[in-house]
């Protein structure tokens, strides 16, 4: 299996995560860089939060975008009006391009869903020319996502069978301090730089927080529905209390941090 990401449609994704990955994309591009004339690959492009920003930043020559999920590729292609962007289904662990083909490989919010992320890093390195850049960013799921933690900590405290799922959600590959930088070094990349990128996840009210969270990701809604009668309602009511924190329902804002790492491809 090459992906642990469970897609629930392009619209559900955009409501749950795409709205935040669009905020992260400019910060990630500032970090990873992009230059006129470059050929770039967006590995795990999803519905295109990063893909569509790249040509706004530089007069690139081409973007290859791949994602494991055919439905996201279809959604991206439906939106695309730029002939330089070409998107297709593909696996980060077996990138469907030849060696040295790109100037830059970028991957946003993907490596923590790849069971063998080292292989994906090696593949990004393979398809980038010597002197080119490989860069990736993943959420700091354990220490940098308070909106998720509020949900999982509350859920697991109420319902012990949620503990294992909590662990899977918070402790993902490449998300511990220095882990992704070590993987880049081990792959043979040089001049490794690591940074933290911070956005805000702003919700207009509890419903705007809750419904995309339970409906937009994986099998969470299905899991909630298997719990004994009354438990899902209790979880929702208790998470709501945590969201409200004795204040009227309305906007709440959560600072959210992603790890970012980049390195240079050595001569070969």
Ligand X SMILES: C[S@@+](CC[C@H](N)C(=O)[O-])C[C@H]1O[C@@H](n2cnc3c(N)ncnc32)[C@H](O)[C@@H]1O
Binding site residues, ligand X, CB under 6 A: 2-3, 5, 7, 17-18, 21, 44-46, 49-50, 66-69, 72, 91-93, 108-110, 113-114
How many other CB atoms are there within 10 angstroms of residue 39's CB atom? Answer: 19
Q: Which is nearer to ligand X, 69 or 179 (CB)?
A: 69
Least CB distance to ligand X at residue 199 (A): 12
| Distances 84 to 28, 46, 61, 96 between C-alpha atoms, Å | 21, 17, 7, 17
Least CB distance to ligand X at residue 45 (A): 6
Least CB distance to ligand X at residue 134 (A): 15
Q: Which is nearer to ligand X, 42 or 103 (CB)?
A: 42
Q: Which is nearer to ligand X, 74 or 249 (CB)?
A: 74
Contact 104, 129 (CB under 8 A): no
In the 8-state DSSP scheme, what is residue 89? Answer: E
Q: Which two tokens stand for residue 237?
A: 């009511």
In the sheet with 128-139, reading across from the earlier edge strand, the strands are: 85-89, 62-67, 39-43, 102-108, 128-139, 252-264, 190-203
3-state secondary structure of 40: strand
Among 138, 124, 117, which Cα is nearest to 43's?
A: 124
Q: Report how far Cα 139 is from the mean position of its chain's Cα atoms.
A: 7
Least CB distance to ligand X at residue 11 (A): 13
Q: Which is nearer to ligand X, 7 or 265 (CB)?
A: 7
Least CB distance to ligand X at residue 234 (A): 29
Whole-angstrom distance, CA of residue 151 vs CA of residue 252: 14
Residue with smallest beta-carbon separation from ligand X? 46
Q: Which is nearer to ligand X, 47 or 154 (CB)?
A: 47
Q: Which is nearer to ligand X, 138 or 235 (CB)?
A: 138
Least CB distance to ligand X at residue 43 (A): 6
Least CB distance to ligand X at residue 57 (A): 16
Q: What is the CA radius of gyration of the chain?
A: 19
Q: Which is nearer to ligand X, 5 or 209 (CB)?
A: 5
Among 197, 216, 198, which Cα is nearest to 208's?
A: 216
Q: Which two tokens stand for residue 38?
A: 């470059």
């Amino acid at each position: 299996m090459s992906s642990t990401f469970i897609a629930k449609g392009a619209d559900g994704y955009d409501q749950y995560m795409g709205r935040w990955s669009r905020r992260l994309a400019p910060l990630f591009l500032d970090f990873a860089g992009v230059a006129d004339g470059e050929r770039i690959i967006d590995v795990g492009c999803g519905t295109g939060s990063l893909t569509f920003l790249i040509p706004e930043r530089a007069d690139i020559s081409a973007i290859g975008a791949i994602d494991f999920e055919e439905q996201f590729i279809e959604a991206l292609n439906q939106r695309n009006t730029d002939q330089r962007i070409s998107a297709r289904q593909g696996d980060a662990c077996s990138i469907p391009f030849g060696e040295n083909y790109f100037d830059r490989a970028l991957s946003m919010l993907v490596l923590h869903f790849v069971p063998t992320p080292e292989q994906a890093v090696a593949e990004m390195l393979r398809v980038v020319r010597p002197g080119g850049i490989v860069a990736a960013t993943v959420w700091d799921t354990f220490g940098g996502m308070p909106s998720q933690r509020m949900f999982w900590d509350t859920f697991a405290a109420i319902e012990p069978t949620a503990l294992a799922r909590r662990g899977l959600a918070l402790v993902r590959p490449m998300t511990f301090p220095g882990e992704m930088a070590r993987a880049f070094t081990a792959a043979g990349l040089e001049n490794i730089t690591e940074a933290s990128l911070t956005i805000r996840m702003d919700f207009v009210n509890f419903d705007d927080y809750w419904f995309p969270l339970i409906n937009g990701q994986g099998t969470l809604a299905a899991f909630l529905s298997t719990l004994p009668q009354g438990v899902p309602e209790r979880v929702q009511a208790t998470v709501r209390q945590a969201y409200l924190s004795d204040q009227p329902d309305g906007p709440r804002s959560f600072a959210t941090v992603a790890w970012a790492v980049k390195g240079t491809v050595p001569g070969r």
